Amino acid sequence: MPIKMRPTANPSSTVRSYGYDPDTQTMRVRFKGTTDKHGVTSPDSTYELDEVPNYHHDGMTTADEDKGGSVGSYYATHLRRGGYKYRKVENDDE
């Protein structure tokens, strides 16, 4: 079953949307593409992280809904540095 993605409620410079499947404990995060100093734009990229506890999805949602929160900061602090196995999702048709 596909993971339902939710767009970030507050503007994020890095995260476009995220979703979570509690049955498989899989977190999916779609990052915004970037533009380099030469004006070359890279496309959005989506990653899935395995065995992520539900409290991290709750943490992302709280950070997203809090006007002073940051989904990107939450991801960097708790998920990227958390040692979770991840993979890039190819041909993401979100």
CB count within 10 Å of CB 34 equals 13
The structure tokens listed for 87 are: 């993979």
62 φ/ψ angles, rounded to the nearest 5 degrees: -65, -45
| pLDDT score at 92 | 67
Q: How many helices (H) and strands (E) does the chain have?
A: 2, 5
pLDDT digits (tens, 9 = 90+) for 14-44: 999 999 999 999 999 999 998 888 988 888 9
Three-state DSSP class for residue 67 = coil
pLDDT digits (tens, 9 = 90+) for 48-93: 999 999 999 999 999 988 877 789 999 999 999 999 999 999 876 5
Amino acid letter, residue 67: K
Domain segments of the chain as ranges: 6-89
- Cβ atoms of residues 28 and 50 within 8 Å: no
